[in-house]
A and B are shown apart, each in its own frame.
Chain A
């Protein structure tokens, strides 16, 4: 009995240790965002200090973070929306007509290094005067979202029995009608998974926005990064900015926890 108790204690110690390691950078970021610059760069590091809101004031008043916030949201929402429009029928087709090659073709976009599209995009978008435009940014983010939508939804459609639309087709409905009227309404959980994940990936994307956006369409990751480029790093400001950028993704994850886990693990476990 004693041995069992001991192993239980050991187990919880390990779990707590893991939780501390996982949480630690988030907590340190949060704590630092309420510190003054002097408190942040003092040695030894301060664990007790007078909290200040000046970093957040700076981020939202001087830096116009609200604008970048809006940019990230616009780009993410529109890119994910169009990816669903393009991706849902494609995923359905891949699932029902077992188009392996097509799925590999679209998933290649996930495999390829993003930077290998960026050089040509940069050249073409410059020629078309589309640098720093929402259009260019949304198109680039769609290439992030579309493979996620196709990957998740083709797996999801496979779990819906074919009889669902076939019985409707026997009754005279067309397949496309069955897709819209029967399959899509059953696909809520899959669509939530695909939407949440691809939005988070778009939200966090740095490289595409770094090259394609400038002042007008700048997204949050770029704004956070730009904090670093000043001569003396304003650590409090960066930490407040980091908190601001991570909070929406974390809230989304908490709300849709089950779906996010499914999306991240589904391909690996099933296929």
Chain B
């Protein structure tokens, strides 16, 4: 082979270099800057010069009830949304995992919620949930159930938002699990049949354990996004009524772009990032141990 050129010898650096520079400028610098801001008391509206206050902003934000509620709410929203999506998503995939007339149409339908603009989805559900004229209450009334206040009451706003998230993202788990099922080999299932196992036993002891890595990965992807849910909450409730649906992401947005308390909002952002990072790492550990 001929003497390789400089370009060729350093291709493993030169090829990714533009992308690295881009990500460094648009992501790494902002993250470091946010970390720095979290140690200051910078407030864009007060006009006071930025001063370094160390961990004071942390002490102030982390003990604030509004923050603690937002933190809990973020976990509650994420836990229920992802748990319901996981169970429904896997169940639907197992049901659809056979040849039937209209399967390709069914798969196309499942894709639609995933590509629907979340802000618009939120607004459509707003109309649906409207307590006085919405279809949701009409359906409840017509089957003899009491009407709900949906997103208009502090008690029911979070479950209502979870319904929207579940509607939009359950198909993602279903599609991933369907793809996983298609890639499984039939032998273990057939062997279990030969050994006289019941359908339920096969599902419980053969299919689901084999699928576990795929299911967990699908759930990590959902978890990361659910923790960061912004669009539907912002469009549907703006965090309200009161602060009843304010998650960390919404709170950080308000601190940044409504109150312009950049120092404190940066603290919230650091916490949010740690939460996202910690949860993903936790589940990835779980996944590795389930693979054996």
Binding site for B on A (CB under 8 A): 11-12, 14-15, 18-19, 21-23, 25-26, 28-29, 32, 40-45, 85-87, 89-90, 92-94, 96-97, 99, 102, 105-106, 108-123, 139-140, 142-143, 146, 150, 169-170, 172, 174-176, 179, 200, 203-204, 206-207, 211, 220-221, 224-225, 227-228, 235, 238-239, 241-242, 245-246, 249-250, 252-254, 257, 260-261, 264-269, 271
Contact = CB atoms under 8 A, between A and B. Distances in A.
A261 B109 CA distance: 12
A104 B28 CA distance: 13
A263 B7 CA distance: 32
Interface in B8-22: 8, 11-12, 15-16, 18-20, 22
Contact of A268 (B114, B167, B214, B256): B214
B7 A176 contact: yes
Contact of A250 (B2, B115, B272): B115
A176 B8 contact: yes
A261 B118 CA distance: 19
Given A206-B119, A265-B179, 18 more contacts: A111-B276, A113-B227, A114-B230, A116-B270, A118-B256, A174-B4, A174-B5, A174-B7, A204-B115, A206-B117, A206-B235, A207-B253, A221-B117, A224-B117, A257-B111, A260-B111, A267-B217, A269-B179
B269 A113 contact: yes
B12 to A, nearest CB: 4
A260 B172 CA distance: 11
Contacts, number: 269
A45 B29 contact: no
A113 B273 contact: yes
Given A246-B117, A250-B112, A268-B180, A119 B266 contact: yes
Contacts of B34: 116, 119-120
Interface of B: 1-2, 4-5, 7-8, 11-12, 15-16, 18-20, 22-23, 26-27, 29-31, 33-34, 37, 92, 95-96, 100, 102, 106-121, 123-125, 127-128, 130, 132-135, 138, 167, 171-172, 175-176, 178-180, 183, 214, 217-218, 221, 224, 227-228, 230-231, 234-235, 249, 252-253, 256-257, 262, 265-266, 269-270, 272-273, 276-277, 280
A85 B270 CA distance: 31
A97 B19 contact: no
Given A21-B167, A139-B26, A111 B15 contact: no
